[in-house]
Structure 1
Amino acid sequence: MNRLKKITSQFFLLTVLLCNAACAADGADFPVVPASKNVPKFRVETVAANLEIVWSIVFAPDGRIFLTERPGRVRVIENGKIRAAPFFVIPDIEPSGESGLMGMALHPDFSANRFVYLAYAYQDKGDQRVRVARYRETGDTLTDSKTIIENIPAARYHSGTRLRFGPDGKLYITTGDATKQSEAQKLDTLAGKT
């Protein structure tokens, strides 16, 4: 019997013995714990329907709910009803695969400054990239676009970008690795970073 067959046979035998030992255990060391009677009751309630690949949901101080749809639409739910028309549509969106309109955040002082931050994929000379831009809510739309950062590597998959303000008031941006896992370990690229 050659060495590989011998090792394989020994490994198989060891596996069978361990499985038998595990099955023979009486369970005394692992008692069944009854479920808690204090489990909170949850109820599913549909707030909006017929949306297309919702990525981010944020809650405004005035009770409105803002959400992003991958094809580039920002939608608003107000008083329990979704507005019929999109609140805003990104004009130069690249909504393919897992990209499109992704992250959204409201400035911590949104009530005063009305700043909304959006992260979305776009095309640049045939390459897909991600841009984070700041807008101002003006009436029933977003205006005053200002690019915060752009040219973040993107791809059809793994472009996922999230936005969130930390307790320090700073905007934190997470980026996907653009299907190149090793990029997350490199300091000379924005792919796969926070």
Structure 2
Amino acid sequence: MAGSLQDQLLNAGLSDAKTAKKLDKEKRKQKRTAQKSRTAVVDEVKLAAQQARDEKAARDRELNQALNAEAQRKAIEAQIVQLITQNKLDRQGGDIGFNFTSQQKIKKLYVSGLQQKLFAAGKIAIAQIAEGFELIPAEVANKIAERDHERVIFCAQETAEALDGEESDWYKDYEIPDDLMW
């Protein structure tokens, strides 16, 4: 039973000797021309299989990158939520309405007098968590802003620094009199 496929087909009567010789001759001819021209015989099936493997590997890489980006985004979101929940300030007893803008809408939080002064000093900020807002220390707000700057809604420190810079530029050209009484 040992033999080539060609011998087995001949024995089974599925092929004739004339066709077998013709295929053999053509195969040798291709081999000779390939050796003369010193080019390798290109196996189209192997080439197509290699191309399919390369395309699948590229698709897999793109899918992995998308999954990694999504996982990283979820990890950052979890870090932000954890920072806000662990560091939020108590707003109990707040009786002063504090207005701020979020996504081009005016929102209002009720804060205490001390919290209002801390806002003015730039010591606390407002951060968005889910659909609500929480008061957090400015240091925590800076950490959150590093991860997602859109989550920190209001930080008076940045506004106060900008105003100080504008005021010092505005007043620098005027001389302050020595006899000014306050």
Which interval holds the TM-score relative to the shorter structure?
Answer: under 0.3
The structure with the greater share of residues assigned to strand is 1
Find the structure with the greater CA-based Rg.
2
Query: How does the TM-score come out when normalised to structure 2?
Result: 0.20
The structure with the greater share of residues assigned to helix is 2
Q: Which has the higher contact order (CA 8 A, sep 6+)?
A: 2
